[in-house]
């Protein structure tokens, strides 16, 4: 155990990068994936990829890439205005894909799903009848017992209707996550998410009436014009519902999003000052939000996630997924074996997204991985470190050693000493935990990307956003 070297590192801290680089919710990022037909191993059959994997505690994720409106900050894989015939075609394709994937998992080893999630997009863009069909696909095609495992579903204020929520509750949903972003109408407009407070409150009431055990509310800080006072007002409006979970997201403006296009008008000379002021605003609001939630009886799980003390754990902890074994269905979903992460093509721009969804709905053959990235031993170590370190409870060194036979300080000395020199690590690690300090957690979106390998970094840099 050499973690105490962190505390003794005295090298001058290199200048820290800007605090908001990117949200690391999965490693490697999808922009590091490539068409597998270009890989020497080619597009391998799923049956071969999953043959030697453990399959007794899989996660199932089904992606519904449809929304009513496109929020200005959103770079997720989703399209707006899907006609009914398209959602039907999409569910038909999901059904075909699920049948093929379940066949590929085989029956030699026990196949069991330990958790399920419907994400998007907005899964509740689907009608109540379509949600029934979606649950049938998960249960009858994949064999997931939705009523006996945690089932998390994302929703939005305008689609969280009583009939849809009743279906989800009856089929076993244990967690509903709603993107509110701000309870201040003007801020919602500034983030290009037009919604009325009254509609948000109505949706929250319906979710509580449905009796689903865990409510998560997503809020965003760093919106143009947002102040400590208005941020506190949004937090208090959320807290009035006593949500079991709250996610506080810093606002990002990324290429090809609605806000990204608006921002193109900023004069280049003013950019650096504007960036610094915005970083400062986001850090201030983050700290104010964190302190308020801690004072209100919430525990910090990660930079973004807060859980009410004593609330049940019904969803993924900030998508911590060092563990492998994820089956993703739908054209924006990722799947993880222990050595390959794969998905379909990815895009942000609406025309490209439409093309990918259309191709998915007409596909007949789902038996091979199309786009992905192999995860070797070095990347597996990085992934474990990264995704554990970004959780407030930190990395258990004994677990790391049991899995890889080394100590994280042997594998990542320069990175960890650099973080320690910046004051981002807590304590000396003598408790067998490698944990971030409060400032380290605040800088999660700078620290995470610093742990990317040179190869992943290069692949991401070479990716052309489309
Ligand atoms: S943020 Fe959520 S609701 Fe808004 S466009 Fe993106 S996926 Fe849809």
HSE-up (13 A, CA, CB side) for residue 259:
18
Task: Return the ∠ at Cα 211 (arms to 180 and 179), rounded to 5°.
Answer: 10
**Nearest atom within ligand 1 for CA of residue 73:** 1
Q: Which regions of the chain are under pLDDT 50?
A: 1-14, 317-321
CA gap 172, 151 in Å, rounded: 7
DSSP 302: B
Pocket probe for ligand 1: among 63, 72, 74, the residue whose CB has the most ligand atoms within 8 Å is 74
Size (the chain), residues:
466
Residues in a beta bridge with 58? 113
* Separation of alpha carbons 375 and 391, rounded Å: 21
Residue nearest to ligand 1 atom 7, measured at CA: 121
Looking at residue 1, its pLDDT comes to: 30
**What's the distance, CA 88 to chain centroid?**
26
Index of the ligand 1 atom closest to the CA of residue 74: 6
What's the CA gap between 32 and 53, in Å, rounded? 23
Nearest of 119, 129, 121, 117 to residue 84 by alpha carbon: 129
| H or E segment to which residue 299 belongs | strand 298-300
101 lines ligand 1 (CB under 6 A): no
Q: Which residue has the tokens 């280049």?
A: 268
CA distance 354 to 28: 25
* DSSP secondary structure letter of residue 77: S
pLDDT at 238 (0 to 100): 98
Q: Ligand 1 in contact with 179 (CB < 6 A)?
A: yes
Radius of gyration of the chain (CA): 22
* Contact 258 CB / ligand 1 (< 6 Å): no
pLDDT, residue 345, reads: 82
Domains, the chain, ordered by start: 5-27+376-459 (no CATH), 46-308 (3.30.750.200)
d(CA 7, CA 34): 40
> How far lies 57's CA from each of 102, 173, 275, 333, in Å?
14, 18, 44, 18
pLDDT digits (tens, 9 = 90+) for 59-75: 999 999 999 988 888 88
CB atoms within 10 A of CB 11: 10
Q: Whose CA is nearest to atom 4 of ligand 1?
A: 71
> pTM for the full model?
0.92
Nearest one of 332, 347, 354 to 81, comparing CA atoms? 354
d(CA 273, CA 79): 34
pLDDT one-digit tens code per residue, 148-207: 999 999 999 999 999 999 999 999 999 999 999 999 999 998 887 878 999 999 999 999
Give the three-class secondary structure for 396: strand
CA of 74 to the centre of ligand 1 (A): 6
65 lines ligand 1 (CB under 6 A): no
């Amino acid at each position: 155990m050499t973690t105490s070297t962190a505390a003794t590192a005295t090298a001058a801290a290199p200048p820290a990068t800007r605090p908001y680089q990117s949200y690391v919710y999965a490693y490697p990022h999808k922009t590091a994936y490539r068409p597998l037909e270009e890989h020497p191993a080619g597009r391998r059959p799923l049956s071969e990829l999953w043959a030697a994997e453990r399959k007794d505690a899989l996660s199932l994720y089904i992606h519904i890439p449809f929304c009513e409106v496109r929020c200005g900050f959103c770079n997720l894989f989703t399209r707006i205005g899907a006609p009914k015939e398209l959602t039907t075609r999409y569910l038909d394709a999901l059904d075909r894909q699920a049948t093929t994937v379940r066949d590929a998992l085989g029956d030699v080893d026990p196949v069991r799903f330990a958790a399920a999630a419907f994400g998007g997009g907005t899964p509740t863009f689907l009608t109540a009848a379509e949600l029934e069909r979606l649950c049938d696909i998960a249960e009858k095609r994949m064999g997931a017992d939705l009523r006996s495992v945690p089932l998390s579903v994302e929703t939005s204020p305008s689609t969280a209707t009583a009939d849809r929520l009743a279906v989800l509750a009856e089929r076993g949903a244990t967690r509903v996550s709603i993107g509110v972003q701000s309870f201040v109408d003007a801020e919602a407009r500034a983030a290009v998410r037009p919604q009325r407070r009254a509609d948000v409150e109505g949706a929250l009431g319906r979710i509580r009436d449905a009796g689903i055990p865990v409510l998560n509310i997503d809020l965003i800080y760093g919106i143009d014009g947002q102040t400590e006072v208005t941020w506190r007002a949004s937090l208090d409006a959320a807290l009035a519902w006593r949500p079991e979970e709250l996610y506080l997201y810093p606002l990002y403006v990324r290429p090809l999003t609605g806000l990204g296009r608006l921002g193109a008008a900023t004069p280049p000379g003013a950019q650096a000052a504007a960036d610094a002021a915005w970083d400062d605003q986001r850090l201030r609001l983050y700290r104010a939000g964190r302190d308020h939630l801690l004072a209100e009886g919430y525990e910090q799980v990660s930079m973004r996630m807060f859980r009410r003390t004593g609330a049940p754990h019904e969803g993924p902890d900030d998508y911590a997924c060092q563990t492998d074994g994820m089956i993703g269905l739908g054209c924006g979903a990722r799947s993880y074996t222990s050595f390959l992460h794969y998905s379909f093509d990815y895009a942000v721009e609406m025309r490209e997204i439409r093309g990918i969804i259309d191709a998915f709905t007409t596909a007949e053959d789902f038996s091979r991985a199309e786009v992905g990235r192999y995860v070797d031993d070095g990347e597996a170590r990085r992934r474990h470190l990264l995704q554990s370190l970004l959780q407030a409870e930190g990395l258990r060194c004994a677990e790391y050693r049991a899995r890889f036979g080394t100590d994280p300080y042997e594998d990542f000395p320069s990175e960890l000493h650099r973080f320690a020199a910046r004051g981002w690590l807590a304590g000396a690690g003598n408790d067998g935990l490698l944990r971030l300090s409060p400032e380290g957690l605040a800088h999660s979106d700078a620290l995470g990307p610093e742990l990317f390998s040179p190869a992943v970094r290069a692949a991401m840099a070479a990716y052309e956003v489309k």
